[in-house]
Amino acid sequence: MTTNLAKPKIFVARQIFPEGLERLRAVAEVDYNDQTAPLSPSDLSIRLAHVDGALVTGSEKIDAQTLGQAARLKIVSNIAVGFNNFDIQLLTEKNIFATNTPDVLTDTTADMGFLLLMAAARRLSESEHWLRAGHWKNWSLGGMMGVDIHHSTIGIMGMGRIGQAIATRALAFGMTVIYYNRRRLPEEIETVCQARYVSKEELLKTADHVMLVMPYVPENHHFIAKKELALMKPTATLVNIARGGIVDENALIHALQHQQIFSAGLDVYEGEPNIYPGLLDVPNIVLAPHIGSATKKTRLAMMHLAIDNLLAGLNQQRPPHLINSELWK
């Protein structure tokens, strides 16, 4: 991989920062899609057909269709921690490494969760739109009242790295932390986060603010739907920084319109970048365009980590964040 003759071929599926491209071009032959929009699945499958490695984002679906012609592919490196865009079973069957970028985005994404929580609870978007529309005539005692964040109870669904980072932020606000996870956390982590493990139902009934941070897997599809929303308090907020498919957006619209819950904050959407009809018309919701990890420092770190993964795999070394670790013997 160090001599010109042995240079591997790499496909970069989306525009990346120049320093990343430079790193790759120094060691590989790079086919670069310099666009910010994803390719169609058929174009993606053509570009994957003749490369040894690919650098992709969470919007490129790596599945039977796109891998159909990828005879020499050894590694697909995601510039994302979530990897629901990968068919992991198929990649493993095909002996192709799959990698992701955990850790480097934990705090930035936790900040975003907290931002959405605060904005939703205190009606920031709604009141800014109202002000910009010229409706603000007087300060009034009962104007734009929100719900408190400090000393309330936060319920975190999915207590991985990001969930834990949200818990530590919540403690600084004097909040009580409860959580639900597929598996209960070791006692040391519960102690650090001062978090109490509860059932999904108890969390929904008890929390003043529900924060969704779990990975998207088929079992979590519409994990929060009509039944779950009905269990929540009418004063509660719901924040989703995980993946869109976790929330039934139609049921959420209904719950917000009928004040079954107080407000919501979303960074992710089931059909993103298309927004479910009706979501834009609901006033008591804060909407962000999947920017949980979007600071320059963090996105650079994600890109470099994804390149580290890619180059390690191509050099027959164990990638730092190998998802299908059973391939590493």
φ, ψ at 40 (rounded to 5°): -70, 155
Of the pair 44, 80, the CB lying nearest ligand DGY is at: 80
φ, ψ at 113 (rounded to 5°): -60, -45
Of the pair 269, 276, the CB lying nearest ligand DGY is at: 269
Total H helices, total E strands in the chain: 12, 12
132 flagged as catalytic:
no
Q: Which helix (H) or strand (E) holds 75?
A: strand 75-78
Give the whole-angstrom CA distance, residue 238 versus residue 119. 11
Which one of the spans 20-28, 76-84, 176-184, 202-210 is the region binding ligand DGY (CB under 6 A)? 76-84
Q: Angle at CA 16, nearest 5°, toward 13 and 21?
A: 95
The active-site residue, picked from 161, 169, 202, 272, is 272
272 flagged as catalytic:
yes
Of the pair 57, 324, the CB lying nearest ligand DGY is at: 57
Give the whole-angstrom CA distance, residue 176 versus residue 152. 6
CB of 272 to ligand DGY, least distance (A): 10
φ, ψ at 44 (rounded to 5°): -60, -40
Which one of the spans 75-83, 89-97, 203-211, 303-311 is the region binding ligand DGY (CB under 6 A)? 75-83
Of the pair 17, 136, the CB lying nearest ligand DGY is at: 17
Binding mask 41-60 for ligand DGY (x = CB under 6 A): -----------------x--
Of the pair 244, 313, the CB lying nearest ligand DGY is at: 244
Of the pair 209, 243, the CB lying nearest ligand DGY is at: 243
Of the pair 86, 180, the CB lying nearest ligand DGY is at: 86
Amino acid identity, residue 306? A
Among 80, 210, 266, 310, binds ligand DGY (CB under 6 A): 80
Dihedral sign of CA atoms 239, 240, 244, 246 in order: negative
Among 20, 53, 245, 292, binds ligand DGY (CB under 6 A): 292
Q: Does residue 266 belong to the site contacting ligand DGY (CB under 6 A)? A: no
Q: Does residue 84 belong to the site contacting ligand DGY (CB under 6 A)? A: no
Q: 71-86: buried (b, 16+ CB within 10 Å) or exposed (e) per residue?
A: eebbbbbbbbbbbbbb
Nearest to 238 by CA among 194, 198, 282: 282
243 flagged as catalytic:
yes
Give the whole-angstrom CA distance, residue 93 versus residue 76. 14
Q: Does residue 105 belong to the site contacting ligand DGY (CB under 6 A)? A: yes
User: What does the DSSP 8-state code read for residue 224?
Assistant: B
The size of the interface with ligand DGY (CB under 6 A), counted in residues, is 7
CB of 161 to ligand DGY, least distance (A): 12
Among 82, 160, 278, 320, binds ligand DGY (CB under 6 A): 82
Q: Does residue 265 belong to the site contacting ligand DGY (CB under 6 A)? A: no
What token pair was written down for 237? 């907020």
The active-site residue, picked from 47, 243, 299, 321, is 243
The active-site residue, picked from 14, 290, 299, 321, is 290
Q: What is the DSSP string of 154-190?
A: EEEE--SHHHHHHHHHHHHTT-EEEEE-SSPPPHHHH
Among 48, 62, 81, 231, binds ligand DGY (CB under 6 A): 81
Give the residue numbers annotated as catalytic, written as ranges.
Answer: 243, 272, 290
- Give the interface with ligand DGY as residue ranges (CB under 6 A): 58, 80-82, 105, 292-293
